[in-house]
Structure 1
């Protein structure tokens, strides 16, 4: 079994989109580790604030199968893909880690882990002792050394999952 971590984000119908995404992921992969939800400003474009969180699960599925399934879940949520990655979206699901795989083809580990508070903090919440395959530091160590001064995130009070 391989431990898989995903980043989820939404700034269109945020609550409904995140709830729907979590339901679809649970249906597809079974039991999920789910981080708290954080609110953050849109990055790279003017738009409504995002809800972001990270989920983890164990899987025997091949990485290509998982990526195809994630795109289908995004599509079912109303996600319209275009060339501009900095745009509003109902549901964005990014494969952050697939075990300790380092792979250019799949952009793993995803660079967002080290660059964005809205990815690193929720990942640290559910897997603080997980070691980043390239940085060779735990998520907790990465978060403790992260400069989030220009990336405000706020944990929201409500739960968007069961």
Structure 2
């Protein structure tokens, strides 16, 4: 079993329900269990600014799935939620799932880079990741808690 961290985001439709449904789907993956869930956070859009705020979260998984198999499972969960990948980056979406990090695994392929190359830049990832793994060291980037101190979290609020 490997520890994996998955980021979840949504800003179309019932975003809270999309994230909760995705967490249920992640827990149902074969040879996988959700071991921690962050709070949900309302965050301003990143990249394309003219769109609704996002809800974001992170889950920690224990999984036997290899990185590309996990990625394929995440893409299937997105499709089942109604996500259409039209090539637009950082735009509005029903559901976005990203593998952030897998313990002791480095991947640099056309389809997947691990650890995720933009973890250190994004408050919408670091805030929920800090909820589940503040002491996690992201190779080449630093400890989550330290990375969080370097990003602008203005406009990011936890939901109750």
Mark yes or no: TM-score above 0.5.
yes
TM-score normalised to the size of structure 1? 0.89
Can you give the 5+ residue segments of structure 2 that lack an aligned partner in the other structure?
none
- Confirm or deny that 1:64 pairs with 2:68: yes
- Tell me the distance in 2 between the aligned counterparts of 1:50 and 1:128: 22
What is aligned with 1:155? 158
Q: Which segments of structure 1 move beyond 6 Å, counting only runs of 4 or more?
A: none
Mean CA deviation greater in 23-32 or 6-15: 23-32
TM-score normalised to the size of structure 2? 0.90
Residue from 100, 103, 117 that aligns with 2:104: 100
- Tell me the distance in 1 between the aligned counterparts of 2:120 and 2:78: 24
The 8 Å contact of residues 101 and 133 in structure 1, kept in 2 or not, is answered as: no
Q: Which has the higher strand share?
A: 2
How far has the Cα of 1:112 moved from its partner? 2.5
Work out the number of aligned pairs and report it.
154
Residues 8-60 of structure 1, C-alpha deviation per residue, up to 9 Å, x if partnerless?
00001201211111111111132331001110112222111100011011111
Can you give the 5+ residue segments of structure 1 that lack an aligned partner in the other structure?
158-162
